[in-house]
Amino acid sequence: MTDLLYSEEEEALRAAVRDLLTDHCDPADVIARVESGAAHDPALWKPLAEGMGLAGLLIPEELGGQGATHREAAVVLEELGRAVAPVPYLTSAVVATEALLACADEELLGRLAPGRTRAALAVGLHTAPDAGFPAARLEDGALHGELTGIADAATADVLLVPADDGGLYAVTADAVTVTGQVSLDLTRPLATVRLDGASGRRVGDAGPAVHRALRAGAALLASEQLGLADWTLTETVRYLRERKQFNRPVGGFQALKHRLAQLWLEVVNLRAAARAAADALARDEDADVTTAVAQAFASPVAVHAAEEALQLHGGIGMTWEHPVHLYLKRAKADSIAYGTAGAHRETLAGLVDLQAP
């Protein structure tokens, strides 16, 4: 039976993560950090991943992880989404971790669990769970080629590279050339990964591992998008209650009240969809349909929420100084990440037998 609520433990986890983000992830700091060219914030990752042990949430206890489920990871992602936190949690602690879980690679999982090692799956961020993806060439046991659009590759210690023999290879970062790409989302930057005869260790078959990893990424991205949408709505409501024009609070104009009420309704619905997806993954039941539904719904809502936030903030929302642009850029990039809403609807058409003409 689907459980769409948050348990007391999950609420306690949320409170702890939110406290940490309040101390370490102020919007002004995030803007300063992305300007420095190194988006990833080690001063946040360390207490989050190592201190609280959240990098190992999905990893079994016997490998040094927490043995928790996707429900808890989803709560962490809601909070990270609220703060557009520049940490590789989704890419390393969820996507790369899921790929390694599919391969049952105990060695790397054991290193990822305490958070000191970060991994990235070398598959473009835009790739949907059931889409094809480029692979590196394997020649005489060495990997060759260039893979683009790899999220958080710049901060990864290990890259999980699919190769043309059908295998997934673990390659250490110092064996490849990682070059940052100028990215729309400043807080989750992309990079190209160039392999010039890099040696790697085969950890398993790429096909099922990548599918599982991208499906988990898509499902839990919905929770990150929920956090993002929730923040933009809350912040916009707060601002419109204070901001005065025509001698009254701007939030009192009915045209704006109705837009915010509609947005609230979308966020309420997104919460149900995101919880359903996290719960379905945790129980491994109905996960394909629930993931496709959550992603088909979440992306337009998160983008709408961020776009409304910008418009309703007026001029201040258009400035570099105000953080709303970070949310808009994250939301728009998220609408492509792990497959667009349209791609997920197409998947759904097959799953629920609503075939195209």
Partner 1 sequence: MTGTSLDAAGLRGRTRELLAAHPPADTDRLAFLQARFDAGLAWVHYPEGLGGLGAPRSLQAVVDAELEAAGAPDNDPRRIGIGLGMAAPTILRYGTEEQKRRFLRPLWTGEEVWCQLFSEPGAGSDLAALGTRAVREGDEWVVNGQKVWTSSAHLARWAILIARTDPDVPKHAGITYFLCDMTDPGVEVRPLRQITGEAEFNEVFLTDVRIPDSRRLGEIGDGWRVAQTTLNNERVAIGGMRLPREGGMIGPVSKTWRERPELRTHDLHQRLLKLWVEAEVSRLAAERLRQQLVAGQPGPEGAGMKLAFARLNQEISGLEVELRGEEGLLYDDWTMRRPELVDFTGRDAGYRYLRSKGNSIEGGTSEVLLNIVAERVLGLPAEPRTDKDVAWKDLAR
Choice between 207 and 253, CB closer to partner 1: 253
Stretch that binds partner 1, among 22-30, 114-122, 193-201, 271-279 (CB under 8 A): 271-279
Stretch that binds partner 1, among 21-29, 140-148, 308-316, 345-353 (CB under 8 A): 345-353
User: Rounded to whole angstroms, how far apart are CA atoms 355 and 351?
Assistant: 9
**Residue in 15, 261, 316, 318 binding partner 1, rule: CB under 8 A:** 261
Stretch that binds partner 1, among 196-204, 224-232, 255-263, 315-323 (CB under 8 A): 255-263
4 binds partner 1 (CB under 8 A): yes
**Residue in 242, 284, 321, 353 binding partner 1, rule: CB under 8 A:** 353
Burial class of 306 by CB neighbour count within 10 A (0 to 12, 13 to 18, 19+): buried
The contact mask relative to partner 1 for 279-308 (x = CB under 8 A, - = no) is --------------x--xx-----------
**Residue among 206, 202, 182, 266 nearest 232 (CA):** 266
Six token digits for residue 314: 């007026």
User: Rounded to whole angstroms, how far apart are CA atoms 114 and 51?
Assistant: 9
270 binds partner 1 (CB under 8 A): yes
The alpha helices in the chain, defined as continuous H runs, are 8-24, 27-35, 42-45, 70-82, 97-103, 106-112, 206-242, 254-283, 287-313, 324-334, 341-351
Burial class of 253 by CB neighbour count within 10 A (0 to 12, 13 to 18, 19+): middle
131 binds partner 1 (CB under 8 A): no
Query: Tokens 């390393």 correspond to what residue?
Result: 92
338 binds partner 1 (CB under 8 A): no
Interface residues toward partner 1, by CB under 8 A: 2-5, 237, 240-241, 248-249, 251-252, 254, 256-258, 260-262, 264-265, 268-273, 275-276, 293, 296-297, 342, 345-346, 348-349, 352-357
